[in-house]
Chains A and B, each alone.
Chain A
Amino acid sequence: MKAVIGLFIAAVLFIGSNSLFVVNEWETGVVFRLGEIVKSDLEPGLHLKTPFINNARTFDRRIQTMDSQPERYLTGELKNLEVDSYVKWRVSNVERFYTAMGGDFALADQRLSQIVKDGLRAQFGNRTVKQVVSGDRVEVAENITRLANVEATQFGIEIVDVRIKRIDLPRDISDSVYRRMEAERNRVAADLRSLGAEAAERLRADADRQRTVTIAEAYREAEQTRGEGDGQAAQIYSKAYGADKEFFSFYQSLNAYQESFSNKSDMIILDPSTDFFKHFNRSSN
């Protein structure tokens, strides 16, 4: 009897657990009847199903990331670029996702990766490096999102976003970029230095000019002042000396003698017949 009851309870529990299932908030549920989908897009919560006949599966409905390895792409001017991109996607139609992908997320990643790479190749091929790097990054991403979505819809997938994470130049090209940058900086440095030398030379030259001009102007003023003095003096002299020209000549001569013979070593050879010795002569004779 005990065994019968035990079995009965076990059976109840088994059936109960088989007729109930839980769909989490981040999931969506699908109910199959003998392999055929009968219900999809189940809301989160507790759900009922017929045991044995129905079975249920849940699928992650969150946004997934497909982050592929960086790949080389050729641009319009045949330059190689290393591009790292990622795709944000989610299951939009569970039924179709299940039929097309078997509900396999890894397989979906793989298929998306192929689609997106193909799209990127086409987009990059139409553009120059400059365009993809600076201008059209967003446009490229939007184009791919749109184009890839057409195919992805068939898999029950919605591509939320395609983003280009990195666009890098291959290593050897990077090196030449560095060399170019270096040369450019050297040019700027040389430019700055010579500009400095130029400015300095200008300043010096200007200072020298100012100095010369200042001194020349001072010289002019000085000569004018001197002339002024000379003129005034001449005027004073002529006014005073005009009083008696003959005496002036005599007086001036005497002054001149005094000044000329002021040194002991000056030697004068005198003739006794001069006027100075007129008394001298008379007494000796």
Chain B
Amino acid sequence: MAWNEPGKPGQDPWGNSGGSSGKKDEPKEPKKRSDQDIDELLKKAQQMFGGAGSKFNGGIGGIGGGAIFLIVLVVWLLSGIYIVDTAERGVVTRFGALVTETGPGPHWHIPYPIESVTKVNVDRIRTTEIGYRSDAQNRSGSVLAESLMLTRDENIVDVRIAVQYRVQSAGDYLFNVKDPDESLRASSESAIREIVGKNSMDFVLTQGRNEVVALVRELTQKNLDDYEAGLFITSVNLQDAQPPEQVQSAFADVVKAREDRERLINEAEAYANRILPQARGQAARIVEEARAYRDQVVSRAEGQADRFTSVVTEYKKSPEIMRERLYLDTMSTVLSNTSKVLMGAEGSNNIMYLPLDKMMGSGTGSNQSTLPLSPITGTGQNSSNNSNNSQTTSTPANQAKSETNIRDYLRQRELR
């Protein structure tokens, strides 16, 4: 208990404030022996104050008074220690007046009631929501009165933003504006409406989103700076920018219509992609067929011409024999392939009845044999087509078809 000793002789430097009673005593010391009443009075005072005057009393009572005083003093002084968290700033005021701001770490201030400290979290990101409120489960409920706003073209849009901010200056935050957080809220609400009001609905809902947000931030920050509110907006997030619920379906329909347009165009493109290669193929076929025909005709002509040339060469050597032989060859070939009736009807007028139909009927494919006589009819199938066509005074396409048929038929004849 070393600290008791300096207290004993009354020279304790800590006892300065307590020493005020001691000072009062000192001028009265000479009277101590002469006036017992006063001495007694002083003793009582010493007991009351428990202060540095204890040396007159000596001993135990003095030690007790000084100790209590010192304990109280130390406790009082220790109460001035405070710790500022990393995220915080301490604002120290002396009798209400701002003294200093302290950073993170342990600090000491003159204890109450002289100085006091207020800690403000300057790193925490605070959020205010406009147009909606989200609860702890992050479910958000809309506040239509806040979120519905007018655009320049007198449309109504539903805009929700979240403003994130932090305290920039703890002193300003505490002392300049009454309820700075609410001020920020009102200010940003005013700003978003101002910006939305300056722009068209389409702009706000589509490409203007980023710009709107940037302007809100700028405007609100400027406002807060004007108030010296000590707040700094870290970000403004556009949570939602939508047409109001009442017209959502119409807006959705526009999106659908846009898709429909794309779909129709795609379908048409698909159609084009389908028929054009087909047409090109068909065209190639037509051309190739024509080339084939040309080459065929020419080759045949060459063949026939060569054949004839060869025969002529031989014919020139002995015309009569050649002629006779050729004639007989042909006749035998022809006659061996056909039914024949020899009639020695020369000179007589006998009318013979020949059952031609029976004779014809015995041969199969009689129908076919007659067909080549008719230039219009081709194969059996085609002829039925053609008869149909002639009856129904055909569409141009059919006509073209029938023309093709005729042409095909003629071609076949030529080839034969």
Q: Which residues of A contact B (CB under 8 A)?
A: 1-2, 5, 22-27, 43-46, 60, 62-65, 67, 86, 88, 129-130, 133-135, 137-138, 160-161, 163-169, 174-175, 177-178, 181-182, 185-186, 188-193, 195-197, 199-204, 206-208, 210-212, 214-215, 217-219, 221-226, 228-230, 232-234, 236-237, 239-241, 243-244, 247-248, 250-251, 254-255, 257-259, 261-273, 275-277
Supplied contacts A63-B176, A130-B152, 12 more A-B pairs, CB within 8 Å = A2-B48, A45-B94, A45-B97, A133-B151, A134-B151, A135-B198, A182-B247, A185-B254, A195-B261, A196-B265, A239-B305, A251-B311
Contact B190 A22 (CB under 8 A): no
Cβ contacts under 8 Å, A272 to chain B: 342-344, 346
How long is the Cα–Cα vector from A275 to B290 in the complex, in angstroms? 44
**Residues of chain B from 261 to 275 with CB closer than 8 A to chain A in the complex:** 261-265, 267-269, 271-272, 275
Interface residues of B (CB under 8 A from A): 41, 44-45, 48, 93-98, 145-146, 148-152, 154-156, 171, 174-179, 182-183, 186-187, 189-190, 193-194, 197-199, 223, 226-227, 229, 243-244, 246-247, 250-251, 253-254, 256-258, 260-265, 267-269, 271-272, 275-276, 278-280, 282-287, 289-291, 293-298, 300-302, 304-306, 308-309, 311-312, 315-316, 319, 323, 326-331, 333-335, 337-346, 354, 356, 359-360, 362-366, 368-369, 416
B190 near A60 with CB under 8 A, answer no
Q: Are B279 and A192 neighbours in the complex by a CB distance under 8 Å?
A: no
CA distance A268 to B343 in the complex (A): 10
Could you tell me if A229 and B294 are in contact, using CB atoms closer than 8 angstroms?
yes
Q: State whether A219 and B286 are in contact (beta carbons under 8 Å apart), knowing that A207-B272, A263-B369 are contacts in the complex.
A: yes
Known: A193-B257, A265-B339, A265-B369. A161 touches B272 (CB 8 A): no
Q: Which residues of A contact B171 (CB under 8 A)?
A: 25
Known: A192-B254, A201-B268. A243 touches B190 (CB 8 A): no
Q: Which residues of B contact A182 (CB under 8 A)?
A: 246-247, 250
| A-B interface contact total, Cβ < 8 Å | 353
Q: Select the residue from B149, B258, B311, B338 with max chain A CB neighbours within 10 A.
A: B338
Find chain B residues with CB under 8 A from A211 CB. 275-276, 278-279
CA distance A21 to B416 in the complex (A): 134
Main DSSP-derived SS at the A contact region:
helix
Whether B335 pairs with A268 at a CB distance below 8 angstroms is yes
Residues from chain B with Cβ under 8 Å of A276 in the complex: 327-328, 331
Cβ-defined partner of B271 (8 Å) among A134, A207, A266:
A207
Q: How far is the CA of A182 from the CA of B256 in the complex (A)?
A: 15
A64 touches which of B178, B257, B344 (Cβ 8 Å): B178
Q: Do A267 and B360 touch (CB < 8 A)?
A: yes
| Closest A residue to B286 using CB positions | A218
**A129 to B: closest C-beta gap in Å:** 7
Residues of chain A contacted by B316 (CB below 8 angstroms): 244
Nearest first, the 6 closest Cβ-Cβ pairs linking A and B are A265-B363, A229-B294, A196-B261, A218-B283, A222-B290, A240-B305
Partner of A192, one of B149, B260, B301: B260
Task: Flag if B340 contacts A268 (CB, 8 Å).
Answer: yes
Taking a contact as CB atoms under 8 Å apart, the answer to whether A244 and B315 are in contact is yes
- B96 and A270: CB pair below 8 A? no
- Whether A271 touches B323, Cβ cut-off 8 Å, given contacts A160-B227, A174-B156, is no
